[in-house]
A and B are shown apart, each in its own frame.
Chain A
Amino acid sequence: MDRLDEMLLELKDTSELMIDLAYSSLLYNNKEIAEEVVLMEEMLDELANDIQRRAIVRAMDDRDEGKAFAIIKLAVAVEEISDAAMQIATVTIQEDEPHPVIRLSIKDADTTITRAEIKPGSDLVGKSLGKMRLASQSGMWVVAVKRERKYLYGPDKNVVLQVGDVVIARGPPEAEQYFQDICDGKERLEEP
């Protein structure tokens, strides 16, 4: 695995997380999450620039402009997605209260955002996200966890949930209730 590939992978995964976080910030009128999206955008800007420079250097070394061209095209397109996320987050930052229709639209969409608090007795307590295979079992993909006052963005599968954590997740509206019930401890997860 090559460094440039890893960088592109990070660019792609982060840009998608940013979109989810940007919509979450709008839905919950949460300026802290929106500010995080802005920070991520600055980081991705640099990452995308770095990718492009490295691609050019490599093309000069191995005299193969085709691959560099494809890498640059991809980096620019993905960076554009992160710009769009920032555009959404900026609405959250600038408005006291976003237009109510925006929230309704997010809730109506094929993919929506939900949040739930982890209650004592939930199967998720003390287990890592990966071990519980939450995404494949509940259909909801965790985009952020709020623990006390701090947010953890794009938690990886090693993150262990605790009672009181507030989990923000993305997924189909039909999966929302089940996800809420798992966090509440009303529904059990199958042991993997």
Chain B
Amino acid sequence: MIDIGREKRLDKYDLAHATVREILTEMKDISEIMVDLAYASIMFDSEEIAEEVKNLEEDMEELSKNIRIKAMLAARTHKEAAKLSSLLEVASASRRISNAAGDIVKIMEVDVAKRPFLGFILREAEEKIKRLSLAEGSDMVGRLIGELGVESETGMRIIAIKRGKRWIYDPEEDTKLKAGDVLIVRGTEDGYEVLRSYANGEERWPVYPEEEGD
């Protein structure tokens, strides 16, 4: 079952076998989704999303520790050590971004009435965080995120899905969309409008000629 976003994350076993390249990629991915989720948590005043950001921050600590160990073991010469040390700088920058996301979430502790400016910033930003729900009649229903190619088709990245009481964070390509899903998305205003027209069933999801035949 692939429904829970967190399951895709490297677990302790994978981490022991993961390469420096895999861990660095993971750290980049997590740091970026954390920033999106952090803003989303404030935007929608969601304690649950905020909690996920805190969990991811812990995952980052673990990844950060592991990448350092692996880099040390990989260095055989002074030159290699120097190169790996700059790679660790990049890893450390990812962790810094994740810490910043953790700090953004702490703004939740301030009374909602005291942070009206946040809504403004998130609404006016070049890339916005928005929410939409999937209607019964949408042809996105029953299809996989990767099969639709939601991000390449609309420029909107799905950062989380609320399904009933459950949350799926940073959903995978093979996450199947269901009617009633609430999608938290990030992207431009016009991308949002396009995606919304598919999600509420007003427009059909585009089909391209090369896909029709087979």
Q: Residues on A close to B: CB < 8 A?
A: 1-2, 4-5, 8-9, 12-13, 16, 19, 22-23, 26, 64, 66-67, 69-71, 73-74, 76-78, 80-81, 83-85, 87-88, 90-91, 94-95, 98-99, 101-102, 104-106, 108-111, 133, 135-141, 171-172, 174-175, 178
Contact = CB atoms under 8 A, between A and B. Distances in A.
Contacts of A140: 155
Interface in B121-135: 121, 124-127
Interface of B is mostly: helix
Interface of A is mostly: helix
B96 A84 contact: yes
A77 B127 CA distance: 18
Interface residues of B, number: 56
Contacts, number: 164
Nearest to A86: B93
A81 B92 CA distance: 12
Contacts of A73: 103, 106-107, 110
Interface of B: 20-22, 24-25, 28-29, 32-33, 35, 83-84, 86-87, 89-90, 92-94, 96-97, 99-101, 103-104, 106-107, 110-111, 113-118, 120-121, 124-127, 146, 149, 151-157, 187-188, 190-191, 194
B114 A111 contact: no
B187 A69 contact: no
A110 B32 contact: yes
Given A105-B21, A138-B152, A91 B90 contact: yes
Contacts of B120: 1, 5, 9
14 contacts: A5-B120, A5-B121, A13-B126, A73-B107, A87-B93, A91-B90, A99-B87, A101-B20, A102-B90, A110-B33, A135-B191, A138-B152, A139-B151, A141-B155
